[in-house]
Amino acid sequence: MDRDISGLSSMATRPVLAELSEHIRLTHGLPVRFESAGGVEIARRVREGAEADLLVLADGVLTELEKEGHILKGTTRPLWISQVVAAVAEGTPVPAFGSESDLRAALTSAKGIAYSTGPSGTALIGLLTRLDLADTLSDRLVQAPPGVPAGSLLAAGQADLAFQQHSELMDLPGLIVIGPLPADTAISSTFSGGVLAASRRPSLAREVLDLLGSDVASKTARARGMRAFGD
């Protein structure tokens, strides 16, 4: 019997899932492979009938897909929390980032501000609106294409300040991660997993999902810029 478990995920969780898939294969004898793309793209593919066993996406999107019948009822579980961080290109001045006024100064002095199509990008636009900066900065916002790290726009010279999930920025060459947004401007996203209704191996998929919520998985997530849900 074919025991391979296939999964779909957003780019934010790709580093974590790649490491955990190898661990699960070696330790538990369950071959697991995840394909990652932009969260919007993955959700579209699921709605169009993509064949896979597991799905790991931002919690809100996963909840919507469950309501639409694409996720087996009762299998959705929160896995990891990721903070949005800011970054600048290596060799450029690093702005102060310890307070809301520092954040405002960094934003208003930036010539280009890169953000993603995922939940971090949506949350950033919401934050700019709350800070009454959305109109002021509208012509400086540069949205990265789906699946493309916002930090890559720094090296390309298309922006001088980038915001995205820590896990997506921490290993990119040529940039410096400043840190999470200060105080009550902080943005975090919860990533959850669920068994797809289209899965041909739902029992094995549940087993893998349990392993993604294990203590070993929590340690891996922390090393990759996330923390386990509930920590």
Confidence of residue 155 (pLDDT cuts 50, 70, 90): confident
DSSP letter for each residue of 46-99: HHTT---SEEEEEHHHHHHHHHTTSB-TT--EEEEEEEEEEEEETTS-----SS
**Distance from C-alpha of 133 to C-alpha of 161, rounded to nearest angstrom:** 15
Segment 96-117 shows an average pLDDT of 94
pLDDT in tens, 13-34: 999 999 999 999 999 999 999 9
**Distance from C-alpha of 193 to C-alpha of 184, rounded to nearest angstrom:** 27
- What is the CATH classification number for the domain harbouring 34? 3.40.190.10
Is the pLDDT at 6 greater than 90, yes or no? yes
> How far from each other are the two terminal CA atoms of the chain, in whole angstroms?
38
Number of domains, the chain = 2
Which pTM was predicted?
0.85
Clarify whether residues 128 and 195 are in a common domain: no
Clarify whether residues 121 and 172 are in a common domain: yes
Is the pLDDT at 68 greater than 70, yes or no? yes
**Distance from C-alpha of 165 to C-alpha of 121, rounded to nearest angstrom:** 9
Clarify whether residues 163 and 214 are in a common domain: no
Is the pLDDT at 3 greater than 70, yes or no? no
Contact 100, 39 (CB under 8 A): no
pLDDT at res. 207: 95
Clarify whether residues 86 and 181 are in a common domain: yes
pLDDT in tens, 179-213: 899 988 999 989 999 999 999 999 999 999 999 99
Phi/psi for 190 (5° steps) reads -100, 130
pLDDT exceeding 70 applies to what percent of the chain? 98
The mean pLDDT of the chain is 92
Segment 126-146 shows an average pLDDT of 94
The residue range of the domain holding 129 is 82-185
Segment 219-223 shows an average pLDDT of 91
